[in-house]
Amino acid sequence: MPEPRTAAPRPVSPEGLARLRSHLGALNTATLQRLDATLPWYRELTPDERSALGLVAQRALQGFVSWFERPATTTVHVLRDVFGQSPAELTRAISLQRALQLIRTMVDVVESRVPEVVPERDQAVLREHILHYSREIAFALADVYARAAEQRGAMDSRLEAVLLDAVLRGQEPDEIQHRATALGWKGGCGVAVIAGLAPGGAQPSFIPALRRAAARLECDLLVGVQAERLVLVVGSVADGPTVAEALLPWFADGPVIVGPVVESLVEAHLSARHALAGLSSAPAHPRAARPTSSEDLLPERALLGDPSAREALVDGIHAPLADAGTALLETVDAFTAGGHSLEGTARALYIHANTVRYRLRRVAEITGWDPLQPRDAYVLQTAVALGRLSHVRGGAAQHG
């Protein structure tokens, strides 16, 4: 806590000190009346809260008298006189702005009553004491609140790290919800995980700006820097790629992968699984957009052994096509194997080219992947191959 910053004012006469003490009650009453008249937030407090702050104002007046008697008194002693043995507790009760308003009101009241409080010969000295006291206590208050903010920041960082780990691991829902509440997570429906490379340098150089960017999007945010990887859990997300696009500047060069949007933090581990698998497999698709959805990397993820990607390709693409009849699967196979030629596919299947076009449109309607787009055709080709392999494995298991 800082010591007084300037030389202490000269003392006052014993008469002036006695008269100041005799006016403490009147000054305290005037201070409470001024608080009620000038500060709307004070009027909105509960009776208990008003009583507690009234006591602070009363102690501030008594602290000023102590300062008046002993001008060399350090501000740490003054703060203890005013706010008790633990000044940091004040930071949990009211904001710094309101604490300063409280002290300023008290000081204004004392200053306005100077002529009636002390003899004329002591009035200039009293005003000098008021200026000195108010400046010192303001500096001391700012220091208390700054230290409290640092402590809260460190605690929040630890809480965030624990919560992020619980979310990514898919731990018990009650534990995740409890930790999220403690951290102040307000995110509604829609949570997505975004993963990419972390920028170099110290974390504080980019994380505050990243949080401000998320706040402008009205999204909650958990930030995790894991070695060279930056993992974001974003809440209140309607469109994952749009949010990722806005947060893209805070990732280093390289792939940035967006997992699917899930309902809440409890399901966020599913989005994380897709996003992190996509980040691991992204080098196999260097032409992917930035950011890109984890779904757009299904073939690469499957090649890397991601079971969720294999399941999505088999159950989400191959199975619906198989259910629609063998013609669509045959057409996809012939189209991708024949160099994506409509005429070549028609000749291979002994059908008209218009029939090929119709079947390919049906494939796009059923799966959401358009065979006429080269990348989509590759996804379909991979899904068909995996579907066939799954049938082979299933048959082998039955025979075994």
Give the residue, 246 or 151, on which the prediction is more confident: 246
Does the pLDDT of residue 321 top 90, yes or no? yes
pLDDT tier, 398 (very low <50, low <70, confident <90, very high otherwise): very low
277-293: pLDDT as tens digits: 999 999 999 999 999 99
pTM of this structure? 0.62
User: For 256, which DSSP code?
Assistant: -
What span, in angstroms and rounded, lies between the C-alpha atoms of 75 and 5?
Answer: 10
- The confidence score (pLDDT) of residue 329 equals 93
Does the pLDDT of residue 399 top 60, yes or no? no
| Neighbouring C-beta atoms of residue 183, cutoff 10 Å | 18
Lowest mean pLDDT among 152-156, 169-173, 341-345, 354-358: 152-156
- The confidence score (pLDDT) of residue 79 equals 60
Rounded CA Rg of the chain: 35
Does the pLDDT of residue 172 top 70, yes or no? yes
- The confidence score (pLDDT) of residue 4 equals 44
- The confidence score (pLDDT) of residue 136 equals 74
- The confidence score (pLDDT) of residue 253 equals 93
Lowest mean pLDDT among 55-64, 170-179, 311-320: 55-64
- The confidence score (pLDDT) of residue 11 equals 66
Furthest C-alpha separation in the chain: 117
Nearest residue to 169 via CA among 114, 123, 226, 239: 226
- The confidence score (pLDDT) of residue 81 equals 61
Average pLDDT over residues 245-253: 93
Give the residue, 79 or 345, on which the prediction is more confident: 345
pLDDT tier, 276 (very low <50, low <70, confident <90, very high otherwise): very high
pLDDT tier, 71 (very low <50, low <70, confident <90, very high otherwise): low
Lowest mean pLDDT among 83-97, 134-148, 209-223, 341-355: 83-97
What span, in angstroms and rounded, lies between the C-alpha atoms of 391 and 399?
Answer: 12
Contact 233, 193 (CB under 8 A): yes
pLDDT tier, 306 (very low <50, low <70, confident <90, very high otherwise): very high
Give the residue, 159 or 77, on which the prediction is more confident: 159
Nearest residue to 294 via CA among 249, 213, 231, 387: 231
- The confidence score (pLDDT) of residue 30 equals 86
Average pLDDT over residues 150-160: 62
| Neighbouring C-beta atoms of residue 276, cutoff 10 Å | 20
Give the residue, 391 or 31, on which the prediction is more confident: 31
Does the pLDDT of residue 32 top 50, yes or no? yes
Average pLDDT over residues 39-47: 83
Lowest mean pLDDT among 120-129, 191-200, 201-210: 201-210
Beta partners for 196?
A: 230
Lowest mean pLDDT among 91-95, 186-190, 340-344: 91-95
18, two tokens: 């006695």
Lowest mean pLDDT among 29-43, 115-129, 154-168, 356-370: 154-168
Mean pLDDT of the chain, nearest integer = 82
- The confidence score (pLDDT) of residue 243 equals 93
- The confidence score (pLDDT) of residue 248 equals 94
Does the pLDDT of residue 304 top 90, yes or no? yes
Nearest residue to 194 via CA among 158, 238, 247: 247
Does the pLDDT of residue 113 top 90, yes or no? no
